[in-house]
Amino acid sequence: MATCPQGHASGDDDYCDVCGARMAGSPGAAPSSAGSPGAPPAAPGGSPAPSGAGQGPVEECPVCRTPRAGQYCEVCGHDYSGSAPPRVPVVAARWEAVTGADRAYYEEVVGQGGPDAHTIAFPPYCPERSFPLAGEQVRIGRGSSKRPVKPEIDLTGPPEDPGVSHLHAVLLAQHDGSWTLVDPGSANGTRVNGKPVAVNVPVPVGPGDRIHVGAWTVITIREGTP
């Protein structure tokens, strides 16, 4: 009975009955120094060759430089096929939105009339409040106990502007670090620098711009982190 290179007793002189390895004395058998079947070829000096040898440089993600392991980057999610839309960056706060009350705007709104115009009073005191413009979107509106999500610029008050919708407008971050404003269909409309904003039509905004919502609320975009 013969013994295979792995030490198994075999009744077959060509291939081991236990592990299937070619017997040392059979035709075409590899030298015993080649190691077990499937082992990587030896590099000069007797060490196994590196698994990546001869394959060229490893492709890296163009966004975060992580070695490629598939169609999508494991770190940032970059799509190597180029078919997926680019992700909107999470913009850090470098601008702020400052809310307050605008008497001139209030008088214009009340002067236009309306079924509830006579019931709306201008607040005798309305402190300014600052909100950071950060993330992918900043919602403007009034919070509600019936809705689990509160807007990032919460105009609930006090004082509360009754003309502001629960979701009145949304500020959206752009790839270049700027912002646009969208009115998704508020009840009383939105103005930017005195001009009405059409529903679902993005309007660029930046430092110095004034956004009017409700009956008397003004939101001023300013440079700087609150």
Between 129 and 48, residue with greater pLDDT: 129
Between 200 and 63, residue with greater pLDDT: 200
Mean pLDDT of 21-42: 52
What is the average pLDDT value for the chain, to the nearest integer? 80
3-state secondary structure the chain: CEECCCCCEECCCCECCCCCCECCCCCCCCCHHHCCCCCCCECCCCCECCCCCCCCCCCECCCCCCECCCCECCCCCCECCCCCCCCCCCEEEEEEEEEEECHHHHHHHHHCCCCCHHHCCCCCCCCCEEEEEEECEEEEECCCCCCCCCCCEECCCCCCCCCCCCCCEEEEECCCCCEEEEECCCCCCEEECCEECCECCCEEECCCCEEEECCCEEEEEEECCC
Q: Is the pLDDT of residue 35 over 90?
A: no
Which range, 19-28, 50-59, 87-96, 118-127, is most confident?
118-127
Share of the chain above pLDDT 90, in %: 46
Q: Can you give the pLDDT at residue 2?
A: 74
Q: Is the pLDDT of residue 94 over 80?
A: yes
Evaluate whether 224 touches 96 at the Cβ level (below 8 Å).
yes
Domains annotated for the chain, with CATH where assigned, are: 91-223 (2.60.200.20)
Reported as a pLDDT band with limits 50, 70 and 90, residue 81 is confident
Instruction: Collect all residues with Cβ–Cβ distance below 8 Å to 156 and sequence separation of at least 6.
Output: 142, 143
Between 223 and 28, residue with greater pLDDT: 223
Q: Can you give the pLDDT at residue 62?
A: 72
pTM for the model: 0.59
Q: Is the pLDDT of residue 143 over 80?
A: yes
Q: Can you give the pLDDT at residue 129?
A: 95
Q: Can you give the pLDDT at residue 142?
A: 93
Share of the chain above pLDDT 70, in %: 71
